[in-house]
Structure 1
Amino acid sequence: MKRIKGFTIIEVLIVVAILGVLAAIAIPAVTKYTTNARRADGKTALVAAAQAMERYYTNNYTYGEMNAGTYDGASIPVKSDQSYYNITVTHANATAFTIQGQADPQGRQANDTICLTMTINQLGQKTPADCWK
């Protein structure tokens, strides 16, 4: 009698089970790293905006002013480099500023409830603290 070559159903099920276990371990780990990378995009944009505010202050002895809700001062990008965060100046006067990074509500980062909104001010104070570690 000639033996037929191939895989048995048991062998296929074992391979599927192993792949399932590997996926259950790998997917959360990859998700964590992509979330952290997206947070880094927002943090980089906020620090760059704060540096622009400091350069503006060095040249003009003021951080600029808020006029009817619009910032009139240093040139600040409206989005982070990878567009995961929207960047806005929420407060500015002669001696102080606050810049906010808000996760794009239409993007993948909108599900990051811990770091949905990050801020930095003229003193270098960053909130929420857990996002800046």
Structure 2
Amino acid sequence: MMNKLRLQSESGFTLIELLVVVAIIGILAAIAIPQFAAYRKRGHEAQVKSDLRNAAVAQEAYFAQYSAYKSGAFTQGVPPGFNLTTGVTVSSAAGSNTFQLTASHTNCAAVSWTFSSGNGTIAGTTCP
């Protein structure tokens, strides 16, 4: 008689309830993980575009000081005042009155973005 009373008073989760919870967590993970990857790609693109805008400002400041645009790779502090984000590479092709900046991110190396001083826009494709 004591065994029956003890079994009825015990509480806990059934196997079905636990399986339902595991299934729900699996479904949520299946939705969230691909979205997280997309957020990372958009973050890398935003870093590159931000560095291109900052490089354009630094390029104009360089021109104001030296009467010429800087050509070649940009590094941390070169041209003066330019801070390069980790993983981003920026280079410049300069003419006498215009320049074009090209940038890419190590996590999206197949894609590059460009900034043209002629029209002031950033062009590129999305990270694959």
Same fold (TM over 0.5): yes
Structure 2: give runs of 5+ residues left out of the alignment. none
Deviation at 1:61, TM superposition (A): 2.9
Match of 1:46 among 52, 60, 63: 52
Percent identity between matched residues is 28
Deviation at 1:78, TM superposition (A): 7.9
User: Counting helix residues as a fraction of each chain, which structure ranks higher?
Assistant: 2
Does structure 1 retain, via aligned residues, the 8 Å contact 2:71–2:91?
no
Match of 1:118 among 106, 110, 113: 113
Query: Which residue of structure 2 aligns with residue 60 of structure 1?
Result: 66
C-alpha distance in 1, partners of 2:23/2:63? 61
* 1:93-104 correspondence runs (5 A): 93-104=95-106
RMSD: 2.6
Query: Which residue of structure 2 aligns with residue 88 of structure 1?
Result: 91
The higher radius of gyration belongs to: 2
Match of 1:34 among 36, 40, 47: 40
SS at match of 1:99: strand
Runs of 4+ in 1 over 4 A off after TM superposition: none
Query: Which residue of structure 1 aligns with residue 79 of structure 2?
Result: 75
Q: TM-score, normalised by structure 2?
A: 0.72
Structure 1: give runs of 5+ residues left out of the alignment. none
For 2:121, the aligned partner's letter is Q
SS at match of 1:32: helix
Deviation at 1:102, TM superposition (A): 1.4
Does structure 2 retain, via aligned residues, the 8 Å contact 1:100–1:120?
yes
